[in-house]
Amino acid sequence: MTATPLAEPAGATTSPTSPANPTSRPGRPGRPRRHPSATRRLVAAELRLLRRDPLTLTFVFVFPVISMLIIGGSFGTTPDDAFPVNPAHWYVASYFSVVIGATGLIMLPVHIASYRERGVLRRFAAAGFPRWSFALAELVLGLTAVSVAGVVLLAVAAPVYGVPAVDDPVRVVLGVLLGAVAFVSLGVLLGSVLPSARAAQAVGMLLFFPSFLLGVGGPPPAVMSPTLASISDALPLKVVTDAVREPWLGLDGGTGGLVVVGLLAVVTTALAARRTAL
Amino acid sequence: MDTSPLPSPAAPPVISVTGLRKSYDGRVVVDDLDLRVDAGEVVGLIGANGAGKTTTVECLQGLRRADAGAVRVLGFDPARDAERLRPLIGSQLQDSGLPDRLRVEEAVRLFAGPDAGDAEELLERFGLAHRRRLHFATMSGGERQRLFLVLALLNRPRLVILDELTQGLDPAARREVWRSVQQLRADGTTVLLVTHELEEAEALCDRVVVMQAGRVLDSGTPEELVTRHGGPVVVRFGLPAGRPAHDLVALRALPGVLDVERRGDRVAVHGRRSAIAHVGAWLVARGDVPDDLSVTSPDLEGALLALLDTPTTTTEDAA
């Protein structure tokens, strides 16, 4: 059995074969390695585990791509009087929010509730992980998931429908960033208040699918009944979608949506940080 | 009754608890508890489910905030200084887990702080060196417990708290874990062992604190507890046929003897531990050394069962 190095004392000069320090990890010879902080170790472990989670892979990486291909292909690529934007581009610009919603409403609540249910958070707390380390790790985890899944989405969309030109990049980036922070924090908050992974899964699905169908990836607002359109307008994921899609496609939306998303991000982040302190 | 050693100004206690009180929804689970653990001691916290053991150790680690009382651990107040205190404690918590898909080697890396000891040696010692690629979800109960022990000891803690240490372990693994705790004691590490396994407490602990319904019933070395609560020792032997009954009068008068029974040629002497030597000396002096003499001594289990056999206000699990 090959001995894999596992841990390293502080300030140890690393050498892969050093008999005096069998726990050190390979590094540049002669240069002291700083021991990674507890928060860094936690972030690294969480990112590694992200790749092994089938729920995440399915809902955050696969589901948005497949839905985009199906819905985008259903309405063609030609604008008309009723829908004066390339429908496929409309959905490509919208589906960034599906990734954000899937991460915040399904992946993180289930992940965190499962940790709490099984005593993983207690173990982190008892081991002396800093108070905010888990909240920070989950924020990094969520934002990484959104970023990678977003890139995957665009990479698939590019050869099929083309990626629409970005009309106002600053507002798009802000919309994506604030929307992602808001929903990641909401996910962390849900995971910290729901009693079990099963409850988180049920609540997450209940929140995600109406948000997805009415706010992002379902029928265009023009074909909705007034009641459904009103409900759609009130959905947080719809607000995020508008804050990204409108500046992306050059639609006239103003900055009101972006401000609301920013406020949502501040409130959910404050609540989530408070609830997930170890 | 708490017979803990008196505090010594020269050596501050590792754990000092006075008047600890904790309730959940109005139900008192720890009630005016006093506890002292000195450096280098292995102290067992014993009691049935619901005695308040787990809640007590959670308060010691700052995982729960006490309603009342003064708690100091390694000089820190766990409620206020948890971030500075917790890295100094290695704990194996009851009902806690790890992410399902985390491998053994990744868990060790995750929990290894800057002062971590030799992880390889710990994995070898606990039989996990060849299981380092295993995911937590696929480990057996015993393997998980051993991994928790590795993680508890990884950062060379000054205090080790082990809650239901050998739960789920087979006898061989249990002995291995016991040897590790004995090694900790030899190294001078302070250990607080929470258990309801009396054999474990007797084998490992310098001192045992017995809890019931959130209170300390008694504490002392296992021998002291056996002496106080274990009932009499019984010395049994056969007498040659035809011995006069008045012989037994002399036996009854021996120091430490409480009662003497005779059935046929069999005699049973009930008494304190000191009676064993006096009965033996009496038999030798008479030239009647029996070859069937046996001594039945009370053990910690019997002593604690007798101690705990009092009405309780709650039997629900306080954890």
- Write the residue in A6, A119, A128 that is nearest to B86 by C-beta: A128
Q: Residue A32 phi/psi, 5° resolution?
A: -65, 135
Give A73's pLDDT tier (boundaries 50, 70, 90).
Answer: confident
Three-class secondary structure of residue B239 per DSSP: coil
Tens of pLDDT along chain B (319 residues) come to 444 444 455 678 999 999 999 999 889 999 999 999 999 999 999 988 888 999 999 999 999 999 999 999 999 999 999 888 998 999 988 878 999 999 999 999 999 998 888 999 999 988 899 999 999 999 988 888 889 989 999 999 999 999 988 877 788 878 878 888 888 888 888 999 998 888 888 889 999 999 998 999 999 999 899 888 888 899 999 877 666 666 788 889 999 999 999 888 889 999 988 999 999 999 898 887 888 999 998 888 888 888 887 554 443 444 4
Q: Hey, are the CB atoms on B93 and A119 less than 8 Å from each other? A: yes
Q: What is the mean pLDDT of chain A?
A: 84
One of 3.40.718.10, 3.40.50.300, 3.30.70.1230, 3.90.850.10 is the CATH number of B15-228, namely 3.40.50.300
Q: Hey, are the CB atoms on A115 and B99 less than 8 Å from each other? A: yes
Q: Hey, are the CB atoms on B96 and A3 less than 8 Å from each other? A: no
CA atoms within 13 A of residue B191's CA, in its CB half-sphere: 31
- Write the residue in B87, B110, B130 that is nearest to A41 by C-beta: B110
Please count the residue pairs, one from chain A and one from chain B, whose beta carbons lie less than 8 angstroms apart: 95
ipTM: 0.79
pLDDT of A225 higher than 80: yes
User: Best mutation site among A6, A57, A124, A196 for testing chain B: the one with the most B CBs within 10 Å?
Assistant: A6
Q: Residue A116 phi/psi, 5° resolution?
A: -70, -40
Q: Is B89 on the interface with A (CB under 8 A)?
A: yes
Q: Hey, are the CB atoms on A9 and B116 less than 8 Å from each other? A: yes
Fold of B233-293: Alpha-Beta Plaits (3.30.70)
- Mean per-residue pLDDT for A90-99? 90
CB < 8 Å to B130, chain A:
1
Name the residue ranges covered by the structural domains of chain B.
15-228, 233-293
Q: Hey, are the CB atoms on B89 and A22 less than 8 Å from each other? A: no
Q: Is the pTM of this model over 0.90?
A: no
Q: Give the lowest-confidence range in A3-7, A238-242, A259-263, A274-278.
A: A3-7
Supply the DSSP string of B146-188, one letter for each residue. HHHHHHHHTT--SEEEEESTTTT--HHHHHHHHHHHHHHHHTT
d(CA B230, CA B173): 29
Q: Hey, are the CB atoms on A120 and B115 less than 8 Å from each other? A: no
Task: Please report, as a single letter, which amino acid is at residue A134.
Answer: F
pLDDT at position B177 is 81
Closest-CA distance, A272 to chain B, in angstroms, reads 19
Give A6's pLDDT tier (boundaries 50, 70, 90).
Answer: very low
pLDDT at position A205 is 94
Name the residue ranges covered by the structural domains of chain A.
38-276
**How many angstroms separate the first and last alpha carbons of chain B?**
24
The string of pLDDT tens digits covering residues B191-207 is 999 988 888 888 899 99
> Directed axis angle between helix A108-117 and helix A133-160, to 10°?
150
pLDDT at position B126 is 84
d(CA A138, CA A115): 12
pLDDT at position A244 is 93
Supply the DSSP string of A92-145, one letter for each residue. HHHHHHHHHHHIIIIIHHHHHHHHHHTTHHHHHHHTT--TTHHHHHHHHHHHHH
Task: Please report, as a single letter, which amino acid is at residue B251.
Answer: L
Give A54's pLDDT tier (boundaries 50, 70, 90).
Answer: confident
- Mean per-residue pLDDT for A199-216? 93
d(CA A168, CA A164): 12
Closest-CA distance, B66 to chain A, in angstroms, reads 16
Supply the DSSP string of chain A, one letter for each residue. -PPPP----TTPBP-TT-TT-TT-----TT-BPPPPPHHHHHHHHHHHHHTT-HHHIIIIIIHHHHHHHHHHHHS-S---SSS-S-HHHHHHHHHHHHHHHHIIIIIHHHHHHHHHHTTHHHHHHHTT--TTHHHHHHHHHHHHHHHHHHHHHHHHHHHHT-PPPPS-HHHHHHHHHHHHHHHHHHHHHHHHHSSSHHHHHHHHHHHHHHIIIIIISSS-GGGS-HHHHHHHHH-HHHHHHHHHHHHHHT----SHHHHHHHHHHHHHHHHHHHHH--
Task: Please report, as a single letter, which amino acid is at residue B21.
Answer: R
Closest-CA distance, A121 to chain B, in angstroms, reads 8
Q: Is B48 on the interface with A (CB under 8 A)?
A: no
pLDDT at position A31 is 62
Q: Hey, are the CB atoms on B89 and A123 less than 8 Å from each other? A: no
